């Protein structure tokens, strides 16, 4: 039986972009039996709705499996790759470079050293 569709589900186009960024299963281990697209859909549902892991709808893979992938991918930097890739594609569609060329920061959002009036200077700005 097909599961219910949720507004947070990945489109086929989004999945085509993200699927290659998911780390492969460990060699020599048991082959994965869970659909990685469904794992992503469950994680996005959790992130968008703010529900607790144990409150995921029952038609997603088991919550322990979903959380395990979420936690593992967080440690491996997979979420950063997702955001970097998708952000670059959006910038490209807008006719911009895939990498930002400037950074703006104010004293409210940048940690300063302990001396009053001294602000951290960002020097790694690409031109």
Q: Per the domain annotation, does 62 fall within a domain?
A: yes
Q: Per the domain annotation, does 56 fall within a domain?
A: yes
Q: Per the domain annotation, does 86 fall within a domain?
A: yes
Q: Per the domain annotation, does 41 fall within a domain?
A: yes
pLDDT for 63-82, tens place per residue?
999 999 999 999 999 988 88
Q: Per the domain annotation, does 2 fall within a domain?
A: no
Q: Which residues constitute the domain of residue 46? A: 36-97
pLDDT for 89-120, tens place per residue?
777 777 877 777 777 776 665 565 555 554 45
The model carries a pTM of 0.69
Long-range CB contacts for residues 65-74, cutoff 8 Å, separation at least 24: 65/34, 65/39, 66/39, 66/42, 69/36, 69/39, 69/43, 70/43, 70/46, 73/22, 73/23
Q: Per the domain annotation, does 27 fall within a domain?
A: no
């Amino acid at each position: 039986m097909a599961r219910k569709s949720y507004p947070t589900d990945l489109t086929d186009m989004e999945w085509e972009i993200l699927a290659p960024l998911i780390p492969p299963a460990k060699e020599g281990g048991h082959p994965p039996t869970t659909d990685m697209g469904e794992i992503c859909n469950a994680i996005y549902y959790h992130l968008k709705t703010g529900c607790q892991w144990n409150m995921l709808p029952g038609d997603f893979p088991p919550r322990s499996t979903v959380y395990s992938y979420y936690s593992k991918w967080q440690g491996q930097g997979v979420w950063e790759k997702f955001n970097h890739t998708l952000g670059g594609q959006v910038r490209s569609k807008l006719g911009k470079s895939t990498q930002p060329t400037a950074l703006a920061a104010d004293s409210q959002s940048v940690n300063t050293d302990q001396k009053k009036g001294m602000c951290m200077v960002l020097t790694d700005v690409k031109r």
